[in-house]
Amino acid sequence: MTLSYRHALAALLFVCSLSSAAALPAATGKIRSVTDGDTFRLMSGERIRIADIDAPESRAGQAKCAAELARGKAATRQAKALLDGKTIRFERIGRSYNRTVARVTLDGRDLAARLISIGAARPWLRRQPKPDWCRAR
C-alpha cells in the first residue's frame, strides 16, 4: 500500500465516519431526574449533558467558591422547573464523562439557549476554558 493510497483511504474512512455520525436520527426521551443545570437523566437511564453550555457546579466538592455553589443550586432549581417530567427531543453529538452530549429541544425550543437566557448557564464550547462562576457578572 503506497503512502498516498493510505492517506486517501484514511481520508475516506474519516469522511464516512462523519457522515454516519451526522446521520444519527434525533431521539426523544422523558426526563427522570435533573442532576444539575446542564445534566439530566432520562427514564431509559441515559445521562445527557446539554451541548454548548456550562452551568455552575451545584455540589460543594466541585464548586470552586461559595458564589459558584449558590449559582449552581439556583441553576439546578431552574433546570428542574423547566424539565421535570417533560419529554425532550435530542440529537447525540458525543460523549463526555460517561454521559451523552446532545443538542436538546424542549417544546420545539433550543434548551441551551433557554438556560442561557434565564442565567442558569453560559455559552461554552468544548476544549475552551470554562466560565468563571466565582467572578461577579
Cell of 127: 476544549
Q: Residue 137 has what pLDDT?
A: 63
Q: Residue 136 has what pLDDT?
A: 66
pTM of the model: 0.77
Give, for 84, the enclosing helix (H) or strand (E).
none
Q: Residue 130 has what pLDDT?
A: 80
Q: Residue 49 has what pLDDT?
A: 95
Q: Which residue has the higher pLDDT, 79 or 126?
A: 79
- The residue with cell 432520562 is 42
Tens of pLDDT, residues 79-92: 999 999 999 999 99
- The residue with cell 425550543 is 109
Structural domain that includes position 117: 26-123
Between the alpha carbon of residue 110 and those of residues 1, 65, 99, 107, the distances in Å are: 47, 29, 19, 9
What does the pLDDT average to over 2-21? 45
- Residues 83 and 40: beta-carbon distance below 8 Å: yes
Tens of pLDDT, residues 51-89: 999 999 998 888 899 999 999 999 999 999 999 999 999
Residue 74 inside a domain? The answer is: yes
Residue 133 inside a domain? The answer is: no
Residue 85 inside a domain? The answer is: yes
- Residues 72 and 66: beta-carbon distance below 8 Å: no
Residue 100 inside a domain? The answer is: yes
* CATH number of residue 45's parent domain: 2.40.50.90
Residue 48 inside a domain? The answer is: yes
Residue 30 inside a domain? The answer is: yes
What does the pLDDT average to over 33-62? 94
Residue 131 inside a domain? The answer is: no
- Residues 55 and 72: beta-carbon distance below 8 Å: yes
Residue 120 has pLDDT above 70, yes or no: yes
Burial class (CB in 10 A: 0-12, 13-18, 19+), 5: exposed
Residue 82 inside a domain? The answer is: yes
Q: Which residue has the higher pLDDT, 43 or 4?
A: 43
Letter string b/e over residues 13-51, b meaning 16 or more CB atoms within 10 A of that residue's CB: eeeeeeeeeeeeeeeebebbebbbbbbbbbeeebbbbbb
Q: How far is the C-alpha of 78 from the C-alpha of 80, rounded, in Å? A: 5
Specify the number of domains making up the chain: 1
